[in-house]
Chain A
Amino acid sequence: MQKITAEEIHQLAGYIRSISGISLNQSKAYLFETRLGPLLAREGLSSYGELYRKAKSGSDKRLENHIIDAISTNETLFFRDRGPFDLLQHKILPDLLSRRNANASKILSTPLRIWSAACSTGQEVYSIAIVLKELLGDLKNYKLKLLGTDISDAAIAQASRGCYSKFEIERGLPREKLVKYFTPQSCGWKVKDALRAMATFRRLNLMLPFAALGKFDIIFCRNVAIYFDPNDRKKLFERLADVLVPDGCLIIGSTESLTGVCNRFTPKRHLNSVYYQLKTPPAVPGQSKLTGNRPHRKSLPAIAK
């Protein structure tokens, strides 16, 4: 494997951050070498510097995609970390549906929109689809929109095909679900049409505006912001807050935290998992204490329990 120089890391890290938000530094030399080394060989390039110059020149748009495909981490599996899916099945979906059901006409007119914001090769999306099927049974009675996006073309292509090798499938997927929702094929296992039809996939760079996607009831954004630098991370969660409906839920990676990152969310705990909801906006916007418009109240707000 060709060695990468400090200068080349500096150049490529800057370039990769500009196209994907992924923040890498000198400590990740092995990552550049193991992920981009094969690309050098495939493209017949003599050095990482040459790769940088060629990609940066924009003369070959494919190269940008190849770099993203190689550098983005596609570590994922079905039901990765059971917590969020148990949360979805036993808390978030029942709560949302009962709130929506309070206005029965609304459920028919307003679809429930779920977004897997960095879906990688699709396992998270199909895991969500399985939860929906298991919880709701006949989906004809519901309007559901399940969107999976990822920055990597290659990951989205695999997600869209819904084909997984034996190794990808074995990890995390119980046997009865495997047999129920997948068919064996030469590729390994392929998602059955009914499950595949529930999801839409598209390429999306989370660093670029995504408000056009509309509003979502549930957003999964797990283990992606960890690759961004703190500033980009803050911006990302601010923008996620913008596209979440007022009573919607955000699920982040189980070892991630929004403390000091975004104060528009409030954490909620159910069983052993944490999810986030938007803080209720103040009753009279603009009358914050800092502006001097202090509310004149005799009693103090109750202490949160």
Chain B
Amino acid sequence: MTRLRILAVDDDPVTLALFSKRLKAPEYLLDTETDGNLAIERMKQRCYDVIITDLIMPGSIDGIAVLHAAKTIQPFAEVLLLTAHASVESAVEAMRQGAFDYLQKPINFDELFHLLDRISDLKRLHQDSVELRQAMDTTERRASETIGRLEIEISRMSDILEKIKSCLLHDDTSAEEKVAQMTVLLNACKDPPA
């Protein structure tokens, strides 16, 4: 089972307590912060799959600032915004700036669980594709090393063949000299450059 690592940020301790209570299931690993600055510090230390943040918080760091910080520090974490005043504009603006979705307060936890399921599915699919990609990359790398080596080797052999041809067609050279020169050329075939 893949556990979702979640950071919940809200200046209201009651909301955070509610998160702690409802996200107790083993598929979630929850951290909470009451302040945007502290949340940002935490993001620098630990990797999260989901960051849930209140949109309006006191101080210089509001939900949009947390969203921006998350996109910089942890670009692959999904951000969910909580908004008490159901303003469509602020939610749309947050989505435009990269939020995964938003929830209106009071929080409908069924809705939250549904969003977390979607994020979880996406992460799993993504993980699968990363692993497939890595497997493909390994195969491709091995194949390309072989092809690259052969490509260079064939080109070297063609050059030598060209020289053998020009040696054979060289009128002024005696038969003995041709044999000597071709022996040198043929020996070169055997020793691929390091």
Contact = CB atoms under 8 A, between A and B. Distances in A.
A289 B166 contact: yes
Interface size class of A (residues with CB under 8 A): 35 or more
A185 interface: yes
Given A257-B151, A289-B169, A179 B144 contact: no
Interface string A274-305: 10000000000000010000101110110111
Interface string B125-169: 010011001000100110111011011101110011001011101
B75 interface: yes
Interface stretch (A92-100, A114-122, A163-171, A227-235): A163-171
A91 B44 CA distance: 36
B156 A300 contact: no
B126 A267 contact: no
A294 B152 contact: no
Contacts of A175: 75
A15 B58 CA distance: 64
Prevailing SS type, chain B contact patch: helix
Interface of A: 81, 83, 166-167, 170-171, 175, 178-179, 184-186, 188-189, 254-259, 266-267, 269, 272-274, 289, 294, 296-298, 300-301, 303-305
Given A289-B166, A294-B171, 19 more contacts: A81-B144, A83-B144, A170-B126, A171-B129, A171-B133, A179-B71, A184-B97, A186-B96, A254-B143, A255-B140, A259-B150, A269-B148, A274-B152, A294-B170, A296-B172, A300-B166, A303-B184, A303-B188, A304-B156
Interface of B: 68, 71-72, 75-76, 95-98, 126, 129-130, 133, 137, 140-141, 143-145, 147-148, 150-152, 154-156, 159-160, 163, 165-167, 169-172, 181, 184-185, 188, 193
6 contacts: A81-B137, A171-B129, A185-B96, A186-B97, A267-B148, A300-B166
